[in-house]
Amino acid sequence: MAKLTKKQARFVEEYLLDLNGAQAAIRAGYSPDSAKEIASETLTKPNVRRAVAQAMAERSKRTGINQDRVINELAKIAFADMRNFAEWGPRGMKLKASGLLTQEDAACVAEVSESIGNTMKKAIKLHDKKGALELLGRHLGMFKDNANDVDKDLTINIVYGRPPEGPPDG
């Protein structure tokens, strides 16, 4: 395996910050004018790709953040049930105390607010359930973006002729 040059090693370090190749190239000392091209070229080199993959794996191990953990967090949000956070009925609504929430349920809470004025108002807002479901669905391949699936051999026949005589049926 070819060893990384000093600039390539710096590029790898910078790339891991935001996964933006052009910005990583600039921060690594390459010219802003050619940063996109340098980044593209650098990221195709096998030794650089291996270094990026190894550094990402080490970071994942070090931080405990991996694909499974991210999927599990999305699942908590996607399948959250409002009944775990509040009770409501004909006599009103009552939020559950935070100490009564499970760790999984607490992770779903985006915001809690309370206002006292003429009427007392309490509210709880959960993270975006629809967004989490969409991300999980995409991860599972359930949704297909149709933008690139256009039938390139589509034929449209336009037939010109005289309109029929008389009133239309109906």
User: In one letter, which amino acid is 13?
Assistant: E
Distance CA 122, CA 94 (A): 8
Per CATH, which fold does 6-63 belong to? Arc Repressor Mutant, subunit A (1.10.10)
pLDDT (tens digit per residue) in 52-87:
999 999 999 999 999 999 999 999 999 999 999 999
Q: Residue 103 pLDDT > 90, yes or no?
A: yes
From 36, 38, 34, 32, select the one nearest 8 (Cα to Cα): 38
Which part of the chain is CATH 1.10.10.1400? Answer: 6-63
User: In one letter, which amino acid is 81?
Assistant: D
% of the chain with per-residue pLDDT over 70: 84
pTM beyond 0.75, yes or no:
no
Distance CA 113, CA 135 (A): 27
Q: Counting runs of H as helices and runs of E as strands, what totals does the chain give?
A: 7, 4
pLDDT, greater one: 147 or 133: 133
Is 126 in a helix, a strand, or coil? strand
Contacts of 129 (CB under 8 A, 6+ apart): 77, 78, 80
Are the C-beta atoms of residues 121 and 114 closer than 8 Å to each other?
A: yes
**Residue that is written with structure tokens 């039938």 in the block:** 151
